[in-house]
Structure 1
Amino acid sequence: MSVRRLAKDQPASFAFAKATKTKLDWWIQKYPEDRRQSAVIPGLWLIQKQEGWVSEPAIRTLADYLGMAYIRVLEVATFYTMFMLEPVGSAALIQVCGTTPCMLRGSGELMKVCKSRIGPKQTLSADGKFYWEEVECLGACVNAPMAMVNDYYFEDLTAADMNQIIDDFAAGKSPKPGPRVDRVNSAPEGGAQTLTDPKLYDGSAAKPIKKLPNSEPVSA
């Protein structure tokens, strides 16, 4: 596992937005009062949704709010790679899967596009709009190669698709997530290939259940 450290440049302070604090309080209420620290992961996630990343002042603020030692929240934030510890793009955070199925299907070409359009891995683009990184399996292997952009999966990608996605986000658009081929979710391209007989679903092929001897229900 790689070493994860806080960004060198940090903001002077952090404050919960009203909506963030309301949602955090909702999470805290799910736990007994003496277990409010269990809301640390939801709290870090809400901070990231508010700011785009998790800063050192935000970690301290959350620790104080949950009654935790600062180091305990820092341990959680640095352990889970879902938490970004440095500023990310204002338009898009692109996470390209680099695990074997995606690599075999061409994720290396997607990374080449990101390098040429954004910069080296884990680097903010010059205009501050984009940030990209290589990540481990995102669990959409059948739709490889794929990438998660902000909160959504973009699948069955080509280099041209990645270029277009970056162009769209740069222009302020919201490209549609999901597969880039003719499939629904993880179904085969072109539609289902098996279990296509309508009789399987309209009840016409159902056979009556035979009553077995001595099958009367037994009273309690």
Structure 2
Amino acid sequence: MTIHKEGYTSIALTVLFIFIINAVVEYRFADVFILRWFIYIFSFALFITVLQFFRNPKRTFTNGENLIICPADGKVVVIEETEEGEYFKDKRLQVSIFMSPVNVHINRNPISGVVKFFKYHPGKYLAAWNPKSSTENERTTVVVEHKNGSPVLYRQIAGALARRIVWYVKEGDQVVQNEQFGFIKFGSRVDIFLPLGTKVNLELNQVVKGGITVLGELS
């Protein structure tokens, strides 16, 4: 397992913070045994938590020309027909994956194709499971057109803890299935909007793995 590049700064700041609070405790409260051990345990837990959040585990990816692969780790919280009002402006099949702070937060392209649309939206930081987060939170929208002409929209949505969305794509890019298209820090959601009639292989509350679990299949 390696550490994702988006974690370098956060990990360095965490180490600096741990060093400072431990130095203060050693200098000012060296005789308070319980406080010292509390800070030691807290520091260790904080470091491990931040380190695991930015992990980039090695994986054997699932590939398929007409397969739609899950773009993120997490739990399926929505599978429903809904109105997509930003790009398609019609009814689509929405699948949403909630990523908790303990999930890997790398986002991967569910299909290969050409980026036809990209937009970043600044916004609020409502809880990621709140339905309003899809339209009011900080988010990005990416639309990729498969070579068969089917467009798939996927949206990174920041959560209550997430304060930074990172993306690596722009309009006109040729993207490859399972390659990274972005990263969201500390709790978030990814929505996927598919053509009506798309076969979906997932169930509500199913735990999925980005780049591995088959979400569905384009017709």
TM range (shorter): under 0.3
- Structure in which a larger fraction of residues adopt strand: 2
Based on CA coordinates, which of the two structures has the bigger radius of gyration?
Answer: 1
Does 1 or 2 have the higher relative contact order (CA < 8 Å, sep 6+)?
A: 2
Question: Which structure has greater helix proportion?
Answer: 1
Q: TM (normalized to structure 2)?
A: 0.25
State the TM-score, normalized to the length of structure 1.
Answer: 0.25
